[in-house]
Amino acid sequence: MTIDGDAAYQVLLAHDARFDGRLFVGVTSTGVYCRPICRVRMPARRNCRFFASPAQAEAASFRPCLKCRPEIAPGPGLAWTVMDASRTLARQAASALDEFAAEGDAPSVAKVAARLGVSDRHLRRIFFAEHGVTPLQYLQTRRLLLAKQLLTDTRMPVAQIALTSGFRSLRRFNAAFLGGYRMNPTRLRRATPRDTTAVAANARVDSPATGAATSDAITVTLGYRAPFDVATLIAFIAERAIPGIEVTAARSIRRSVRAGVVGASAGWLEARFATDAARVRLSFAPALGPASGAVIAAVRRWLDLDAAPETIAETLVGLPGEPGLRLPGSIDAFELAVRAVLGQQVTVAAARTLARRLVERFGADIATPWNDVDRAFPGPADLAAVPIERIAELGIIRSRAGAIQALAAQWDSLAPLLAPGAAPDALVDRLRELPGIGPWTAHYIAMRALGWPDAFPPGDVAALKAMRLGFAATTQRDAEAFAERWRPWRAYALLRLWNSLGVTP
């Protein structure tokens, strides 16, 4: 990818947040690379080199800035439908490497290539052409940036951070960190000013404790691109929040996490939006510490923190709504899929009631810092093993109870199709093979579980009504044809259409 240096320098002069996470500047006089929003002293143009990713900057021997913290920058965002096949494959490979890095895994390039159905030689070639670095350089950068984030924001032991970041020994971690950043991990931790808001977040207890203390929480900072319509996102989640599982406030969301969703342990998390910066303060249970990377990645997808709101808004001109709308994802894809089935042909409130009954009957107790978050959603094995009558007697009609059990029984085969960057069409096709799951439900699950930005569930009655009022689309065929102009952001268009009517299916 070729970057126009003079144009990029204008972005730097303007501190243009639209390019945060998409452009990085390496300063030759300091050996440091920064985000375009960094407020350090402006470097001279002759000292600037520009990169499309942290991996490119680090491959050129620059180390990350301690002030603007490239490790918390939003990701570049993906659009499946606007790139050629090679670029799409290279982006899917990067998503796979992001997933492996988040989970602390150490895959070979051959493993990633096999997952994508290509040869490792072909993958290396197209990956370098798209990203400007090799897959292993990219993966190493992701690991080191995760380690830097945990060193900066938390007091996790260095040895635990090494393992969490995917290094198989402390010796290898120290060597890689020293080689990449020209300082050892302990020195970086000493050199980084402690964020006092992290201490305050850790010490806060907003309601009587039930056995877990927020003072023990692991707390990290996540960045995003403004604007962000926090109120609308939280309202969407609040309307669907299952009692005991999820609770919202004006600028925060807290919830439980069942075992196996992010790491092996059950736990809890809280996301709190800052009022004075484009940042989210994420706190989560110490039990989830070994899966810190996976937790951070899951929350970024859940809250759509990598979206590019200005880019999306340019495509949605003429639709009601303002820039900053986010596509709500999910922490637990199985929970979302079950909730989608429960919501078929009933109101949001009715679906929430059915979900509450399901959790009360089949969920498990969990200790969190809050009295109103005390249950974990039942897992696939919990629902696959029970007689269908026990689900149906909760007021869930038998066909939907059967669909839930089919989802539960097939979840192990569905899970690979829900990996970050996976092709949504494959998931939709597989879901539609299950009894009781039609096209709308399959697309809705893909939209939220995968964060599919171009989803447009067929036959959506509310969308057709909004388009009839706003664009004189009288039939479903007319609506789908008109929606083509909103590619690759039709899911955001759908949310705007729903919001224009004051309803959200």
Q: Which residues have CB under 8 Å from 296's CB, separation 6+?
A: 102, 146, 149, 220, 222, 282
Closest to 189 measured CA to CA, from 218, 153, 159, 216: 153
**Catalytic status, residue 460:** yes
Q: Please, are residues 438 and 410 in contact by the beta-carbon 8 Å criterion?
A: no
Q: Which residues have CB under 8 Å from 108's CB, separation 6+?
A: 120
Dihedral of CA atoms 374, 214, 186, 31 in degrees, nearest 10, equals 90
User: DSSP code of 244?
Assistant: B
d(CA 43, CA 404): 58
**Active-site residue among 68, 84, 460, 478?**
460
Q: Please, are residues 56 and 64 in contact by the beta-carbon 8 Å criterion?
A: no
Give the tokens for residue 468.
């009839």
Q: Are strands 32-34 and 63-64 parallel, antiparallel or unpaired?
A: parallel
- Residue 122 CB neighbours (<10 A): 13
User: DSSP code of 414?
Assistant: H
Q: Which residues have CB under 8 Å from 436's CB, separation 6+?
A: 341, 399, 400, 402, 403, 406
Give the tokens for residue 96.
């796979």
**Active-site residue among 20, 34, 98, 153?**
34
Report the DSSP beta bridge partners of residue 257. Answer: 267
d(CA 503, CA 236): 10
**Catalytic status, residue 478:** no
For the stretch 425-434, contacts whose Cβ atoms lie closer than 8 Å and that sit 24 or more positions apart, written own/partner, are 431/337, 434/403, 434/406, 434/407, 434/410
Handedness of CA 463, 467, 473, 478 (dihedral sign): negative
Does residue 306 sit in helix, strand or coil? coil
How far from the centroid of its chain's Cα atoms is residue 227's Cα?
17
Which residues are designated catalytic?
Answer: 34, 460
